[in-house]
Amino acid sequence: MLLLVPARTYRAADFLAAAGRLGLDLIVGSDGALPLGGRPVVHVDPEDPKRAADRIVASTGPVAAVVAADTPMLILAAEVAARLGLPHNPVDAVAAAADKAAQRRLWAAAGIPQPAFRLMPAAAPEGALRQAAADVGCPCVIKAVSLSASQGVLRADDPAAAEQAARKIRRILAAAGRPEHEPVLVEQYVPGPELSVDGLLTAGDLAVIAVFDKPWTPEGPTFEETLLITPSRLPGPVLAAAVCAAGRAARALGLTHGPVHAELRIDERNGRARPVMLELAARSIGGLCSRALRFGGGASLEEMVLAHALGRPIPADLGHRPTGVLMLPVPRPGVLRAVEGRAEAAATPCVTGLTISIPVGQQVHPLPEGDRYLGFIFAEGDTHDRVEEALRAARQRLRVVIE
């Protein structure tokens, strides 16, 4: 198997461990120096996928499957799989899934439920963004089309605030090295419970492997992820409608094979619960959140993804015991000096793990400028409430020192 690992990712160790448990003969492609257990690495440039695919095909020989460990390698993985005649998503579909503006246009054409939106070019005339905010209705959300993990996403409560938010997001895009001409999205703010759906596509059919509720979803102005708990507590018909919407959304983008991660809100206005698509990625859940999941025989989500790529059956037992993960956002800008209280937090009843993912001494930025979380806390319990309380208690025992 060829595993494509970007230089900057949370996911490398978990995918390597999964490959080891499955006994795979692994070839690794990467654009950086990674701690990959002494394995040889084929150096590739995901910014030039056609040339990188040429190099991979020429140097690796036959492989049974190609998997991207994280977002920057998704287009390259599709390109290589196409060259080798392996099951894969079309390159154009993967590119569309990585572009929030393309998603919105394709979903609109397919009649997928989503927020009302307007696309604002960088060269839009003065006053156009205020008008767009008024058109979709306030409050609204201003969003970068190319960033992820809630980076470059802000709520605005009136057209003037929308204009200010857009200026801030353009500064964030410039700092991230994005092109000056990149547009921003102006979209309707949808209130209501938020959830995520993870699944595996086979010939366009979506098999759900996890649904996370997000009971602490913020209402703005920023939208950092915080608490995720599975299995979902949504009523069966609402959950079924959300899964159906995620599957339709994936197919509307042209995705047919491999993992997807969908984000939705349940719009409860007008007296009914209607799933509304927010975003969808052609990968599994990000960060270290997959560590909250265990399937039949103790399999990890990464094992599920690798096994599916090889055409192997996935476990029938998807787990029903409540588990959760608390993503720790960066509280303020500065230099991280310490995270105190780790031992006390890790000893909280029902807590199963705690990882601080930013080394001491690094400069940190909160959302919407930042693109990393401080760390992750994991818990498991007999009830959803017990998991939620354990994660809340563990977080309260941490003291973050930032200068």
- Are the C-beta atoms of 117 and 188 separated by less than 8 Å? yes
Q: Is residue 263 part of a domain?
A: no
Could you count the other beta carbons within 10 Å of the beta carbon of residue 307? 19
Give the residue, 38 or 397, on which the prediction is more confident: 397
Same domain, 77 and 141: no
Q: What is the pLDDT of residue 317?
A: 63
The pTM of the full predicted model, rounded to 2 decimals, is 0.93
* Rounded-to-integer distance, Cα 72 and Cα 37, Å: 21
- 349 and 381 both lie in a single domain: yes
Residue 201 token pair: 């596509």
User: Does a structural domain hold residue 251?
Assistant: no
Q: Of 161, 188, 215, which residue is a domain's last? A: 188
Whether residue 371 contacts residue 339, with contact meaning beta carbons closer than 8 Å, is answered with no
Kindly report, residue by residue over 284-342, the tens digit of the pLDDT: 999 899 999 988 778 999 999 999 999 998 776 666 789 999 999 999 999 999 999 99
Gap between the Cα atoms of 169 and 145, Å rounded: 10
From 139, 162, 188, the end of a domain falls on 188
At which residue do the structure tokens 């058109």 appear? 135
pLDDT score of 188 = 95
Local confidence band at 269 (pLDDT 50, 70, 90 cut-offs): confident
For residue 156, pLDDT over 90 is answered with: yes
| Mean per-residue pLDDT over the chain, rounded | 92
The answer to whether residue 223 sits within a structural domain is no
**Domain of 72, in residue numbers:** 2-95
Instruction: Bin 2: left if φ > 0, else alpha if -120 < ψ < 50, else beta.
Output: beta
User: What pLDDT sits at residue 36?
Assistant: 62
* Domain containing residue 136: CATH number: 3.30.1490.20
Number of domains into which the chain is organized: 3
In a domain, 199, yes or no: no
Whether pLDDT at 59 is above 90: no
User: Count of CB atoms within 10 A of residue 320's CB?
Assistant: 8
Residue with tokens 């991979």: 56
Which secondary structure element, helix H or strand E, spans residue 3, and what is its range?
strand 2-5
Residue 126: count other Cβ atoms within 10 Å of its Cβ: 7
Q: Is there a domain that residue 278 lies in?
A: no
pLDDT for the residue numbered 211: 95
Same domain, 10 and 91: yes
Statement: residue 34 has pLDDT above 80: no
180 and 147, same domain (yes or no): yes
Q: Are residues 121 and 88 in the same domain?
A: no
Q: Does 33 have pLDDT greater than 70?
A: no
Asked if pLDDT for residue 51 goes beyond 70, the answer is yes
79 and 149 assigned to the same domain: no
User: Is the pLDDT assigned to residue 398 strictly greater than 90?
Assistant: yes
Are 81 and 123 in a shared domain?
A: no
Token pair for 47: 């910014």
Does the pLDDT at position 35 exceed 60? no
- Report whether pLDDT(76) > 60: yes
Specify the CATH number for the domain of residue 58.
3.40.50.20
Residues 348, 396: one domain? yes
Please report whether residue 205 resides in a domain: no
Mean pLDDT of 109-114: 97
* Whether pLDDT at 149 is above 80: no
pLDDT over 90 at 40, yes or no: no
Asked which of 157, 188, 219 is the last residue of a domain, the reply is 188
**pLDDT given at position 281:** 96
- Domain membership of residue 362 (yes or no) is yes
CATH assignment at residue 380: 3.90.1170.30
Mind listing the pLDDT tens digit for each residue in 357-386?
Answer: 999 999 999 888 888 899 999 999 999 999
Q: What is the pLDDT of residue 146?
A: 85
Question: What's the pLDDT at 180?
Answer: 83
Residue 38 included in any domain: yes
